[in-house]
Structure 1
Amino acid sequence: MNGLVPPSLDDLAAGAFLHDIGKLYQRAAGSERDLPEMVRNLESEVLPLGEHGRYTHRHALFTAAFFAELEQAHLELPRGLDLEQTRVCAVYHHKPDDSRPWTWIVAEADRLSSGMDRKTRDIADELGLGPRGRDAYRRTPLLSLVSTVELGLGTATPRAFPVAELTPDAILPVHAPDPGTLPEAYLACWRGFRQGIDTLCSEASGSGELFHEGLISLSERFTWAVPSSTMDEPDVSLHDHSLSVAAIAACLHAWHTASGSLTDLTAIRDRRLPKFRLLEGDLSGIQSTLFRLARQQVKGVNRILRARSFLLGALVETAALLIRREFELPPYVTLQHAGGKFLMLLPALEGLDERLAALQARIDRWLVETYAGDLALTLALGPAFGGEGFSRGRWRETHAALRHVAEQAKLRPLASVMHEPVLRGAEYEEGAEGACPACGVRPARVADERDPALRRCVACDTEERIGAVLPAASAVIWKALRDDDPTPFRPFGLAKAVIVPGRAPHASGHVLSAWQPRPREWAWPPADRFVANHVPRFAEGEWDDDRYRGILPSLEDIGRPREDTVKTMAHLACEDLELDGHGRLLGRPMLAVLKADVDRLGQVFGRGLGKDRTIGRVVALSRLMDAFFTGHLTRLLEQRFANVYTVYAGGDDLLLIGPWLTTIRLARELNAAFARFSGGNPNLTLSAGIELLAPEEPLNRAAARAEARLTAAKDAGRNRVSLIVREPLTWPALDKALALADRLNALLRRERDPLPTALAYKLLHFADLRLRAEAGDPNAAIWRARLAYQLARAKAGPEAEALVNELLPPPGQAAPVPARIPITMALYRNR
């Protein structure tokens, strides 16, 4: 190909994403001696000359070596991408070629992503001229960004990540990885990346979109813990930096192509021209939609619930895909996607507002027709800005301008269709047989495939069908929509398919996007991601567990369930029942809803990064947070809390349902895990609300109460958990409450002279009297004497008296926790 022909947008974006891959290669190899001679001879062509009189940024030679290896292996990029053009865009990012002005695009994107700061100390380190000596760049770990968040609430010791492939456990940082192990770890990651590239070029051969997605996924697996810079900015990974560089480069290519200036060096380097716009997508109405149930005992309720969270996330992802396809942009431009939101960088093209307004109307119309106003997805487009808007001093202002627009947009949900007769009575009820028996609101139009007499609304029918196959899905695929496509989920003009167990085949038809859950099992599709989709299942023989006495098979699992069948809510409610020494079942069948999220998240992103707020650091912080809730939390459930059901988790929050005591204990472990994730940073904390409920109680009511408890925990000072009583607890107090409950439970169950259960109930009464006395009620002041009388009458013994004195200390002494919490927990275990 003629080297003076401008690259395609796909070529340039891929080159921009791979521009620094030589940093991983360089740290794995440790020396340039083994580089091919033809690569070493590129020194004067691709490396700038530094102030030390030596060529700098030598990792660019390793980037060139990477492309030379691909060529020697006869690997070909997918149709529509050119290896040579991609190579040129990647290799010349530190010494652009003025005869090919577009090579300046990647150089500009690299500098803009870094906040336009030059990494002079990195240059010295790479040359062995820095104070830390030669090879220091190979022995410097990635600092944990979450451990460095600063809001003035205390200090924490920064933690670091060992260089390793991304796993749910790897995202928990350590005090200080052994520097001597890092070179070997870099080598392992490099080998994994190279092997993945070979597979990617083969498996994504027919689709540039799938290649880009696979490349992003592969990079995240092997470069997430590789510092982009080892001195000036050691807390941004190579992956996050590369993603933001590719996004900026893609937008620059699109803008200069549209303006006819792709070969205009002056225009490319002009950072004052407004070339960029930020777009935020935000799905509202999530919780009300998740728990929109006519009653809990509806047919297929488990399938419907487990599909809803997945499908709501899919709506957001589909909207982002629609926008990218509208403007022919690669997936790098989606900088953040988690928690029902996405952040996208777009070129400031002429007519952008009008085209997005048309997409908004298309999205609104589909949501109204499908969800009858329960859901709204707003697209907020920020003002245009130039390259200067990425600088460390301006990025906060740039992002704040978007947030202002986004807050305004959220006040006008579904505004584009409010003037249309979308919900006219006759049209709304046409073909419907009353309200849907699942949600109780939307018209029942669609007959159940297995029971034609049963009809549901479009949304609930889709959820029931997808929920049946979702727990065992091996891949998720978006395909171009066909009129005869049987896929039930067809949002905004795209179809979505869930693939059943087994090797995910290359789907027929035009595949727009695809991914598989981590840990990856198949070569195709090439992209993978963490998915918070844990559901409790029956183990072999577990159906005969005595705790399930009297529970009939669920309506959706008639007959004896097979191993690996998903448990119903009725079964989960019985999981915390316990057998005593005489074979009797003790306890009350109950569930708990756990709602938790990160405290002060707006402040964390707004000022928690201090003056070093760049687009790369914002992307990095968001990705790490999402990985904790989708990856590490899921691993925690699988290994230690298998009977807890994930309704949703991702971004910065979660909503889980499980057996009541198990869920309370999970909350304690979740907070401990988050503290390890944050490195004990007091500026980054978690709050939670826990609401207990009977298995037959509607989940939507309990979820609303859990949300109210979460709000109360935050109002009480944050970094707290609210359950059972109004007063939220600190997390250490929850530990104390669980310990006191265990001690009281042991007294109630001891073989000789057990504490009477009636006395435990009376302790609740005395707890209330104590509170009234402290509030000044003279009629309650005698509570202590009455308590002593009851203890003596029951012959409680010294151990019980000591425990009661801890639960209900004398006047003037503070109780370690509200007594009602541990007493209630102990009583629920012994009903």
Structure 2
Amino acid sequence: MNREYQTIVLAGLLHDIGKFLQRGDFLRSLKVAGKHPAVSAGFIKAWHQVFEKVADVQLLIELVQRHHETNSFPPELQVQQADPQIRPLAYLVSAADNYSSAERGEQSGEYRDYKTVPLASVFARLKLNHPTPEVYHYKLHPLNPVNSFPQPFKALDPQQTNKYLNAFGREFAKMADSIKLSDFACLYTHLLSLLQRYTWCIPSNTQELMPDISLYDHLRTTSAIAACLYRYHKETGTLHEKAITDKNSNKFRLVVGDLSGIQNYIFDIANIGVGGVAKRLRARSFYLNVLSEAISHRLINSFDLPITNVVMSSGGKFYVLIPNLPGSAEKIDNWQNELDQWSVNEFNGEIIINLAQTTFNGQAFNHFGEILAELADGLNCRKSTPLKGYLVNNDAWVTERFTRDQPKIAAGLCRSCHKGAVSYIDDNGDGLCRHCQRDLHMGSLLPGASYIAFTRSNVPAKYQSTTFQIYDNYSITLFADAPDQEYPAYLVNKLTDSDVGEIANHPALPKLVANYIPLAHEDYCSGCSGCHDEKPVPGQPVYFDCLANRARGRKLLGYLKADVDNLGQLFVFGLREEKADRNSISRIATMSRMLDLFFSGRVEQLLNNHYDSCYTVFSGGDDLLIVGPWDEVTKLALQVQREFTEFTNNNKNITLSAAVSLLKPGIPVSRSVVVAENALEMSKETVLKGESEGRNQLTLLGRTFKWSKAAQLLERAEQLTAWLEADILSTGFMRKLLGFFTMYKHYYDRGDARGLKYLPLLTYTVTRYFPRMDECSGDKLDALLWTQNLKQLDHDELIYLDLLVKYALCAKE
């Protein structure tokens, strides 16, 4: 980037920082009175030494000061009153600001004190089939998933706000004294990280009736749009007012990238070697995540754009905003062909990177959700012709490319995937291919990794043992501690929290990752069938058999699979309102980031702090897959749903479906996941009696039910288990209840009156099993009364009797 370009990108990022700073006192006695553009300019003046090595400070001051055209601002703050030499650039930043917040929410009927207005939950606005809930707001906290739940309050405490602002000031001053200020990428990413940490919970417009766009997301998308506009107008020779203010020209191109074949690739691991699955499963999921990141980095690098132009990225999918320059479409199409060939060479076509693109003008930012819908159609079309760039040439099949040369198999085929040639022999004598060997090595390092460093350079020899090739010349290195100055990183992601202050020598961003894996310790395992007379090594991932051995009752694994219902519809239609659409790029970016914060950040915290025997296969974006002892995973499912509901402002329009499948640890992971996927489909598709649609449900032990019943049913199941353990009820009696339930189901499902014969049979069995009621007391009386209640045909627990009994039998054995 040239100096002028860097100044534009910084101006987009900092143009509205005054909205945050004017809420209280700040270091260096910064003047915070007056309009927010003046405060933004004052901030840059006060800290000019931070920016002067990479930007034209005087130009930067002018651009952040003059990014409004409205007459509500005095002339010294208006774009149109800028010096003619810089006016085009001022209009450029102003246009980026307007496009980022393309639709303004309904204005409040009266003035609001900007110092006390909190950020509203963006999820409260979503609407599909249900009314929207009461709007909750966010307290001021440095970004941390546990503090990112909206709460029912209306105004911030100015004193607390002032303390919060001063904490930001101290961290900013520390950053200014420690990082390499002459490195633009280092300064830009550390600024971006600090803004994310502190302004994620600050509204970008306090005078809206429902201020639900985060200032952080408005700043980063404004910076991204400004970068696109500058590149477009600079390279097309149109860097003048008339062209910049033209909203009808297609200056923008949005590219989506998506990895296909993820599930099959991750789970195509044979159950061989001591701990092999436990180490390699997480590694494969992690590798595909960083592959998606590296592909998005390659795209912004090829168009000379900052990291903010990756406007959304999670769950193996990314969206990148680029300028619509001449030849851009062909450049991306050619790259797609290269990716297709690379997919075949690297993965035999099992993992495919699909790209889709669309162009749009400035006015289209008013309906950014429609742009996403158009991209989704293009992506689906692309997925229907996988590897076309490799298999088709001039509209004809390249037939010789439909077969692959067999690898040299002098040492045999890989014992894990049975596809690649053996290139490595593990500690158990099993021959592995280079992919499976990479997974095994990466899996052993991941538990201790707190940082991912991305590089396009050759790394020094001392780092090579923890470095992995990802794509082309892009590699990552895993670090337990912050990388030192010698490492040639173009970006370092911190995986554990949002404070990246210790990574002073490199560009750095927080990237919370659900990476929890149970690790063995000296007393972890008392010996189980999966250990094969050898316990897991302390500090390394435990075996799946060990996880099953920690289950209550039957030694089974639970596979928890869950995802958000109707997510595509929520992004496209959920923000539409009668008066106007509310799906600006900044609002959609806020929603996407917050969803990922829950699945990547909060789920990780739950596992670390409460469910330490559960193993993260993946969790991010809008879905998760977690394996663990069946009883612990079942409790986790309920807590995830309960917290997801709170996290999304108790909005009935955004729901979660999930399934817990109970399986023996010896069943291959690939087959187990298919079972879990089918169970999740039951949660999505099963329409219960009295309901109009499926979804928003849990499937457990073959039964599907609404979340609203889940806690009550599991509480009863635990009660049955307690009665079994106390010999108040017997296993034989419980099995008879299962038989009676089968009869009842004939009546309930088909209206067959013959099923009602369960009533006299139940009465007879209870009479024989229990003494007279007046001779029962305590728990035995409770058990008798419960069984008597099963004679009520509409009893909720009778409808799910098989679930209750099966749960109790699993817990008791």
TM-score with structure 1 setting the length: 0.86
Q: 2:509 aligns with which of 517, 527, 549?
A: 527
Larger mean CA deviation between 329-338 and 61-70 belongs to: 61-70
C-alpha distance in 1, partners of 2:368/2:528? Answer: 61
8 Å CA contact retained: 2:15, 2:64: yes
Give the counterpart of 2:477 among 488, 491, 498: 498
The C-alpha deviation readout for 1:138-182, integer Å capped at 9, x for no partner, is 010000011221123133111100122111112111001553x24
- Displacement of 1:777 in angstroms is 5.0
Q: Which letter does structure 2 place at the counterpart of 1:386?
A: N
Instruction: Check conservation: 1:733, 1:816, Cα contact below 8 A.
Output: no
Deviations 1:488-532 (A, max 9, x none): 6323213423334234323423x2222111324761153212111
Cα separation, partners in 2 of 1:328 and 1:431, compared to 1, 3 Å: farther
C-alpha distance 16-186 of structure 1, shift in aligned 2 (>3 A): farther
Residue in 2 aligned with 1:44? none
The DSSP-based 3-state class of the residue aligned with 2:22 is: helix
Could you tell me which of 89, 92, 102 is aligned with 1:102? 89
2:679 matched to which residue of 1? Answer: 709
**Aligned-partner Cα distance in 2 for 1:245–1:131:** 28
Give the Cα separation in 2 of the matches to 1:173 and 1:83. Answer: 38
1:607-756 correspondence to structure 2 within 5 Å:
607-610=573-576, 611-715=581-685, 716=687, 717-725=694-702, 727-750=703-726, 754-756=728-730
- 1:608-660 CA deviation, whole Å, 9 max, x = no partner? 11222211111111111111111112112222111111111111111111110
- SS for the counterpart of 2:551 is coil
Shift of 1:814: 5.2
2:9 counterpart (10, 13, 16): 13
Q: Aligned partners of 2:752, 2:146: CA distance in 1, in Å?
A: 53
Show the counterpart of 1:543: 524
* Shift in alpha-carbon separation, 1:347–1:425, aligned structure 2, 3 A: closer
Residue 117 (structure 1) shift:
4.6
The correspondence for 2:321, drawn from 308, 322, 345, is 345
Q: Does 490-499 or 773-782 show the bigger shift?
A: 773-782
Does 1:213 pair with 2:189? yes
> 1 CA distance for matches of 2:658 and 2:550?
22
Partner of 1:93: 67
Q: Distance in 2 between matches of 1:349 and 1:521?
A: 35
Most deviating of 758-767 and 277-286: 758-767
Helix, strand or coil: the match of 2:353? strand
| DSSP 3-state at the match of 1:490 | strand
Q: Identify if the C-alpha distance between structure 1 residues 359 and 408 changes in structure 2 by more than 3 Å, giving closer, same or farther.
A: same
State the partner residue of 1:408: 381
Relative to structure 1, the CA distance from residue 445 to residue 142 in structure 2 (aligned partners, 3 Å threshold; closer, same or farther) is same
Please give the alpha-carbon distance, in whole angstroms, between the structure 2 residues aligned to 1:521 and 1:385. 35
SS at match of 2:760: helix
The correspondence of residues 241-640 of structure 1 with structure 2, limited to 5 A, is 241-262=218-239, 264-295=240-271, 300-382=276-358, 384-391=359-366, 394-419=367-392, 427-430=405-408, 433-440=411-418, 442-448=419-425, 454-482=430-458, 489-509=468-488, 511-519=489-497, 520=499, 523-524=502-503, 525=506, 526-538=508-520, 542-543=523-524, 548-551=526-529, 553=531, 561-562=537-538, 564-577=539-552, 587-610=553-576, 611-640=581-610
Change (3 A) 1:296 1:804: farther
One-letter identity of the residue aligned with 2:720 = L
1:85-116 deviation per Cα after TM superposition (whole angstroms, max 9, x unaligned): 44443333232323211121111100111116
Q: 1:642 to 1:594 in 2, by over 3 A?
A: same
Deviation larger for 462-471 or 426-435: 426-435
Query: How many residues are paired up?
Result: 767
C-alpha displacement of 1:789: 2.4
1:784–1:810 contact (8 Å) kept in structure 2: no
CA distance in 2, matches of 1:492, 1:432: 28
Deviation at 1:295, TM superposition (A): 3.1
Which residue type is aligned with residue 632 of structure 2? T
Query: What is the identity, as a one-letter code, of the residue corresponding to 2:139?
Result: P
What secondary structure does 2:23 align onto? helix
Displacement of 1:416: 1.1
> RMSD across aligned C-alpha pairs, in angstroms?
2.8
Q: Structure 1 residues 380 and 813, CA, compared in 2 at 3 Å: closer, same or farther?
A: same
User: How many Å separate the matches in 1 of 2:743 and 2:90?
Assistant: 77
Q: CA deviation at 1:33?
A: 12
Match of 2:782 among 787, 799, 808: 799
**For residues 250 and 560 of structure 1, do their structure 2 counterparts lie closer, same or farther at Cα, with a shift above 3 Å needed?**
closer
1:488/1:428 CA distance change after superposition, 3 Å: farther
Q: Deviation string for 1:784-808 (max 9, x for gaps)? A: 22222222333375332222345x4
Closer/same/farther in 2, CA of residues 767 and 297 from structure 1, 3 Å limit: farther
1:138 aligns with 115
- Relative to 1, partners in 2 of residues 1:131 and 1:688: Cα closer, same or farther, differing over 3 Å? same
Identity score, percent: 28
TM-score, normalization: structure 2? 0.88
| Structure 2: distance between partners of 1:303 and 1:683 | 38
Query: Cα deviation per residue 1:381-419 (whole Å; 9 max; x = unaligned)?
Result: 11x22211112xx43443333222222112122221124
Give the conservation status (yes or no) of the 8 Å contact 1:141–1:226.
yes
- 1:184 match: 160
Conserved? CA contact 1:369–1:422, under 8 Å: no
* Map of 1:790 onto structure 2: 765
CA deviation string 1:451-479 (max 9, x = no partner): 7x543233222211111111111211111
Q: Give 1:112's aligned residue.
A: 99
Mapped to 2, the partners of 1:432 and 1:311 lie a distance apart of 28
Find the residue that maps to 2:468 and give its secondary structure.
Answer: coil
C-alpha distance in 1 between matches for 2:812 and 2:153: 47
Report the Cα distance in structure 1 between the residues aligned to 2:28 and 2:165, rounded to whole angstroms.
Answer: 20
The answer on whether the counterparts of 2:561 and 2:658 sit within 8 Å (CA) in structure 1 is yes
- 1:273: Cα distance to partner? 1.6
Residue 691 of structure 2: aligned partner: none
Residue 282 of structure 1 contacts residue 342 of structure 1 at CA under 8 Å; is this kept in 2? yes
Asked whether the 8 Å contact 2:548–2:630 carries over to 1, the reply is: yes
- C-alpha change, 1:118 and 1:598, in structure 2 (3 Å) is closer
Q: 1:790 to 1:304 in 2, by over 3 A?
A: same
Instruction: Please report how far the alpha carbon of residue 196 of structure 1 lies from its aligned counterpart in structure 2 after TM superposition.
Output: 3.5
- Equivalent pair of 1:447/1:455 in contact (CA under 8 Å): yes
Q: Aligned partners of 2:629, 2:713: CA distance in 1, in Å?
A: 18
Counterpart CA distance in 1 for 2:420 and 2:410 is 5
| Deviation readout 1:318-363 (Å, 9 max, x if unpaired) | 1100111111111111110011111111100111122112222232
SS at match of 2:254: strand
| Inter-CA distance 315–781: structure 2 relative to 1 (3 Å threshold) | same
Whether contact under 8 Å (1:596, 1:687) holds in the other structure is yes
Change (3 A) 1:463 1:565: closer
Q: What are the residue-to-residue correspondences of 1:164-179 with 2, within 5 Å?
A: 164-176=141-153, 178-179=155-156
Show the counterpart of 2:217: 240
Distance 2:737 2:315 in 1: 43
Check 1:438–1:89 CA distance in 2 against 1; reply closer, same or farther (3 A cut): farther
Q: Post-superposition shift, 1:815?
A: 4.1
Stretches of structure 1 lacking an aligned partner (at least 5 in a row): 41-56, 123-129, 578-586
Deviation at 1:448, TM superposition (A): 4.0
Deviation at 1:763, TM superposition (A): 1.6
Whether the 8 Å contact between 1:742 and 1:826 is mirrored in structure 2 is yes
